[in-house]
Amino acid sequence: MPKNTVYETDIEFLSILDEDAQFDESLGIEDGEPILSDEQVVYLYEQMWIGRQLDEIAFKLQRSGRMGTYPQNKGQEANAAGSGFAMKKGTDWVVPCYRENIAMNLHGLPYHYILLHWMGDERGNQIPEGVLCTPISVPIGTHMLHAAGIAWSFKLRGEKDRCAITYFGDGATSEGDFHGAMNFASTLSVPVVFYCQNNQWAISVPREQQMASPTVAQKAIAYEMPRIMVDGNDIFAVYKATRDARKYCVENQTPYFIEGVTYRLGDHTTADDARRYRSEEELQQWMAKDPLIRTRKYLESRDAWNDERQLELETHARKVVDEIVNEANSIAEPTTSEIFDSMFAEIDDDLRIQRDTMRTSSIGQNPEQAGLKAQTQNA
């Protein structure tokens, strides 16, 4: 018996608009036109700018004690903007982690929900009817399983033009839930795009310390999933990869894996100080790859942008974000019992007692408290 190679594979890396804003026409032009029209790129550039302005203000809200903690999306915006734009609003589901504000907003979630979430207000997680986004997920990896489940529901219902997209970080791919979700999605063969925002760090742990594989995309090979790596700071590459992945998922009723290679320019969250574990040199290298800078340069090269429009945008973004903050701040105080309202369609007796008495067994119930004894006996 000879020894044969039984499996061979490769991983492609897609880059269209490089860090010097050089545009690869062989990849970025289709039917004689750029895959994103100037109008679309202007729109996405504006969305990325507003997203970054929101980040800046959220940071200040936290520093002035008006927000618990906040993870900045800064530097990673093209991933959420390009991929969110490529998915079908109102048809597809967006299952985010916490650095995809722009994708959630592109799919209809008003931004003040995101601020409320980080202000610790449960109503930030009560996604409005018709907005096909799950709430921000802080427990790392858990939501990818939900995305696989949502995609499975499309399949079971025969809804053939629907797809889910789920976002997660490089660190999340070291979690069991990631592998569970990948295994479910591939064995059940369901239409879901797994989008990894590989920003090189999981808090203070660099990629090479938390995984032996040099790429994240190669993890998809074990699940026989089509995969691609993209320059995650390149709005064209992210858009094209996600658009094609979505098409592939829907046509073949299978999952697809995208690794967006990117970098978070901010701290992990407002509770972190990244200067303690990463070098200034590394930061500077990635600052030069900022997706906003290169998108602007591209638009300028096409006479679709200038300093005057930039000034207008900056003024507009400040106004938009001020309104978002006002919206979040002006919401009426929640009642304490509201924390029970959104987890279950119907609550059981134990939770009902907790809600009605605002006491939990872990902090000790006062049996003399009005009504509690009677309710406990009834339960």
Ligand X SMILES: Cc1ncc(C[n+]2csc(CCOP(=O)(O)OP(=O)(O)O)c2C)c(N)n1
Q: Among the candidate windows 34-42, 97-105, 196-204, 267-275, which touches Mg ion by CB under 5 A?
A: 196-204
How far, CA to CA in Å, does 367 sit from each of 14, 349, 375, 377? 64, 16, 10, 11
Binders of Mg ion in range 12-51 (CB under 5 A): none
Catalytic residue among 264, 294, 296, 298: 264
How far, CA to CA in Å, does 272 sit from each of 71, 127, 264, 285? 9, 28, 13, 21
Whether 294 sits among the annotated catalytic residues: the reply is: no
Binders of Mg ion in range 198-217 (CB under 5 A): 199, 202
Give min distance, CB of 41 to Mg ion, in A.
27
Q: Which does residue 172 touch among Mg ion, ligand X, none (CB within 5 to 8 A, set by kind)?
A: ligand X
The single residue among 84, 169, 232, 291 that binds Mg ion, judged by CB under 5 A, is 169
Q: Which is nearer to Mg ion, 92 or 170 (CB)?
A: 170
Q: Read off φ and ψ for residue 165, nearest 5 degrees.
A: -130, 135
Catalytic residue among 268, 294, 296, 298: 268
Give min distance, CB of 373 to Mg ion, in A.
50
DSSP state for residue 218 in the 8-state scheme: G
All residues at 6 or more sequence positions from 302 whose CB lies less than 8 Å from its CB, including other chains? 38
Q: Which does residue 117 touch among ligand X, Mg ion, none (CB within 5 to 8 A, set by kind)?
A: none
Where on the chain is the footprint of ligand X (CB under 6 A)?
Answer: 99, 138-140, 168-172, 197, 199, 201-203, 268
* Chain length of the chain: 379
Give the separation between CA 47 and CA 81, rounded to whole angstroms: 7
Q: Which is nearer to ligand X, 28 or 96 (CB)?
A: 96
What is the contact mask toward Mg ion in residues 337 to 366, using x (rule: CB under 5 A)?
Answer: ------------------------------
Give the separation between CA 320 and CA 39, rounded to whole angstroms: 20
* Under rule CB under 5 A, residue 266 binds Mg ion: no
Q: 206 - beta bridge partners?
A: 201
Give min distance, CB of 211 to Mg ion, in A.
11
Q: Which is nearer to ligand X, 120 or 139 (CB)?
A: 139
Identify the burial level of 178 via C-beta atoms within 10 angstroms of its C-beta, where 0-12 means exposed, 13-18 middle and 19 or more buried: buried
Give the separation between CA 134 and CA 127, rounded to whole angstroms: 7
Q: Which does residue 92 touch among Mg ion, ligand X, none (CB within 5 to 8 A, set by kind)?
A: none
Q: Which does residue 59 touch among Mg ion, ligand X, none (CB within 5 to 8 A, set by kind)?
A: none
Give the separation between CA 123 and CA 144, rounded to whole angstroms: 22
State which amino acid sits at residue 346.
Answer: E
Q: Are 266 and 74 in contact (CB under 8 A)?
A: yes
Q: Which does residue 35 touch among Mg ion, ligand X, none (CB within 5 to 8 A, set by kind)?
A: none
Both tokens of 24, joined, read 């690869």
Q: Are 376 and 354 in contact (CB under 8 A)?
A: no
All residues at 6 or more sequence positions from 125 whose CB lies less than 8 Å from its CB, including other chains? 113, 117, 135, 136, 342
Q: Which is nearer to Mg ion, 101 or 199 (CB)?
A: 199
Q: Which is nearer to ligand X, 207 or 246 (CB)?
A: 207
Q: 30 - beta bridge partners?
A: 33
* Under rule CB under 5 A, residue 84 binds Mg ion: no
Q: Which is nearer to ligand X, 95 or 250 (CB)?
A: 95
Whether 277 sits among the annotated catalytic residues: the reply is: yes
* Under rule CB under 5 A, residue 170 binds Mg ion: yes
Q: Which does residue 203 touch among ligand X, Mg ion, none (CB within 5 to 8 A, set by kind)?
A: ligand X
Place of tokens 């509770």: 271
State which amino acid sits at residue 153.
Answer: S
Give min distance, CB of 139 to ligand X, in A.
5
**Judging by DSSP bridges, how do beta strands 205-206 and 201-202 pair with one another?**
antiparallel
Q: Which is nearer to ligand X, 23 or 98 (CB)?
A: 98
Whether 264 sits among the annotated catalytic residues: the reply is: yes
Q: Which does residue 268 touch among Mg ion, ligand X, none (CB within 5 to 8 A, set by kind)?
A: ligand X
Give min distance, CB of 145 to ligand X, in A.
12
Active site residues: 264, 268, 277
**Which residues are near Mg ion by CB under 5 A?**
169-171, 199, 202
